[in-house]
Each structure stands twice: as C-alpha cells, then as structure tokens.
Structure 1
Amino acid sequence: MTSPTPADTLTPGKVTLLSAGPGDLDLLTLKAVKALAAADVLLLDDLANPEIVSLAPQARVIRVGKRGGCRSTPQAFIERLMRRYALKGLHVVRVKGGEALLFGRAGEEIAVLRDAGIAVDIVNGISSGFAAAASLGMSLTHRRHCHGVSFVTAHTEDHGEPDWAALAATRTTLAIYMGMRRIERIASALLAHLPAATPAALVQWAGGVDERRLLTRLDRLAADAMSAGFGSPAVILVGDAVGESARQRDATSHARTTAAIAYAA
C-alpha cells in the first residue's frame, strides 16, 4: 500500500461520507463498494467492520475512532484531515458505522467541507436500529400497534436528556441509540409515562458476528440488561411492536413443543 501523493493540479478532490452499516460487509451497497475501490484516503470509524479496508486496496488507512466513554479522535481533527487531503486533490472516504446521516455528525462535516469548497458525496447504509429490528424478526412499525418510529439519541449535546414524556406520548416504536450508560435513567423516565409491561428489547452489535439479543419488558429492562452483561454499542427498542417478536418466538416454541409431543406419541 502506497501513501497518497499530492495531485499535480490544485483542483480539490472530494469527500465521500460512506455509511458502512452495522458490521456485516454483505450489507454494503454497490455504491459503497465502488467508492471504497476508488478511495485514496480512508478515514475509518471504530464501529465499522475493520475488514472493510480490504475493499479499498489503494487507500491510505487512517483510524479515527469515536466511541462514547472511550478515548476518541477529536471531531475537529477528523474534519481537518478530510479538508487537508481533499484540498490536495485526493478522494477521501470517511467510513462511518451504521448510517452516516443518523447520529453520525454528518451535518457538521458537510458544513465544514462545503465552506472549504470541497464536493461531498453521501452513500447511505443500514442503521443499527434497522439491523436490530431485523435480527429480532420484528417490524419497527405495525398497523395494529404503532404508526411510526422515533430514532433518538440518549443524550443531547449539552449532556442533557431528550423529552422522554413527549417521546412516550407519540406511541411510536422508540429506537434509542447510545443509551447503555443511562439505561436505568431511561427506563425510569419512560416508566413514568408507559405501562410497566411495555415490550422492550436490546440488541448489542446488531448485524455483526458478536450480536446479542434480549427481549424483556420496560420495568425489567435495566436489571435484565445488567444481569446479562449487555454493553455498548447497543440499540434499545421500546414499544408494542417489539412484542410481536416475543409472540412469534413463543408461537414457534409452542409449535416445536407440540410437534415433539405428537412425534413422541
């Protein structure tokens, strides 16, 4: 692998904000694969599958991990790297886990790059909220249970919290990101507005080889999560639509038991 060299022209290159999905490389879009193959510089997020670098054979790889509660690469430094290499005429691919436009600080990066006169491409991917629902075999929306889904981060820029009362009142499926460190507070806040038996679920490393799943109810969510040793990164799902996964699981288990009894007889 060779390091990128400055282009012979002063014409700026471009930056691609690439959504790498929840971890399974099979879930990358064809557009993502083409962008990776054309990359000169790869800025790799911690939550992306590290094997993604094999799809960018000519790129210089720079790891710019950002993880809650861990030592992270400062956002301003990442933005300077993108700007620096793009202004040399290079194609910079900023690889983000999940979907770049959802809690990925894409808005800030787009503004910085456009202010510098750098073209920005955006490649969409599968967010971990969708991957979590798929792994549970449930739909995020359901005509009998809810007519929408709310994607929300568990903390605001000033380290405050969302308006849980307002979110509970929407009666949508809540897909809560970056909430494991506050799971007790989240559950307690939602319990003030939702029934204790409201279905809830946790999916850690959704879509990856280390994926773990937990189906429970809101009043047991925090205790069950801690008892089972769940941690970040994980998506918390809350709402009646989540109950469909538990019902389907129970129905499958009942069918298998019935079949076993019939066979034994």
Structure 2
Amino acid sequence: MLEIQQLAVNYRGVRALEQIDFRIEPGELVGLIGPNGAGKSTLLKAMLGLIPTARGTIKYCTCPLCQNLERVAYVPQRSQVDWDYPITAQNVVMMARTRQLGWLRRPGAAAKAIVNGALDRVGMLDFKDRRIGELSGGQQQRVFLARALAQQADLFLFDEPFTGIDKKTEAVMLEVFAELRTAGKILLVSTHEWGKSLSQLDRILLLNQSLIADGSPAQVMTPANLQQAYGVSFHQRGSRDPGADLFC
C-alpha cells in the first residue's frame, strides 16, 4: 500500500503543496488531476525524493518510499527528456535493468529477453535499433512505457503520459495500465486530459496545492469540485451521472 500523510512541499521558496493525505491499494489505477501549477509533478517528484518535503510522510509497504525506490518505475513528462541524446530505443529500455545488473556488467540473455519482451508488448520491437530522437512522440512514449515494464516494479508513477501522443499509443497505454492493475500493481497517473482515459480510472485525486477531492471519476469530476480546482464555472447538460459529460 502507498500512503501519504500530512504532506507539505516547498518549491523555490513557495509552498507548492499543503496537507496532502491519501492512500492507494494494490490493484488501483488512480488519476492525479488539476490545472497547470497545481503541484501534480511536484507531488510525484517529492514522492521520489527529487524534491525535499517540508512536512509529512510518504510510505510504501509501511516503510519510507525512499527506501523502496527499486520497486518504483517513473515515467517523466516528455518535456523533461533530452530526445537528442544518441541512444537507441533498446538501450533506453535496457537502462531499467541497470540496478539489477550493476553499471559494469554487460546484459545477458535474461535481461535482453525482458527488454525485448517489453518492447514487443508496446509494439516497438521492430524499432529497437532506432535512435530515440528519430521516433514520433507516441513511439517515444511507448519506449518509455516499455522501460517501466522492464523494470518489473510494483509502483508506477506516470507524469502526463497522454500529452502529445496518437490514438494508437493511447490505446496501448490504457491496455497496459489495465494489465498492471490486474496484476496487483499500484498506478498513479498525472494527467490534464479529460477524454477516454478518465473513464478507465478507479479513482481520481483532484489537486490544486491541496487535495480538493478523492473518489471515483463520477464523484470527483463535479461542477463544484472543478470550479474549486480551476477557478471557473463548469456546467453539465442534464447528465444522469455526475461527471458523465466530461468523458465524451
């Protein structure tokens, strides 16, 4: 179980997050929703220890998450990746096996089988020798998804994975997310996309510096909650279920 209690984070001298409390059980796919500047990426980075926390605890399996990072796979925003770096798709995914292999050991048959299997699962095995910068945005994202799979983690953190991708990549990602959920993994996905992907989520955490709502998509994506998060009015058109119009 992932559990965050009383979390507060300062970023560049400003309080970016305050009073964050939630828990995620194995087998849950949870979305992290909020406007730009709400603290979604800050929360993920604080969980990984990339940004110091001002207060609170972040635990996984009752231990500090920072002591269990080998069980965490993280896919950052595409804007944070140097796509000009001269590395092939296969070697990007092989980086996921570095912790197990060590920096000085060459990958053996078992590691190569895991990497190629991950690339095959996302439809990128035929592109394994292609430099990452030569791929389309969707293909690049699938390579990073393959890297997360090759890590064989238990907790998956995705930062804006649906931004700038094609429909095929979106479908592949949603299929893989469903498989990981069925396998009992924990998935936390930051997104500002309000399309089909939201309806696939078990829960939504609506965030704007503090946690505004936590529940099913229908419970969270209401006009009142969205107005509080985004500061503008949202109106529904006679929906039978709260938030249904947002999934069109």
- Pick 1 or 2: higher relative contact order, CA cutoff 8 A, min separation 6: 2
TM-score, normalised relative to structure 1? 0.28
For the pair shown, the structure with the greater C-alpha radius of gyration is 1
TM-score by length of 2: 0.29
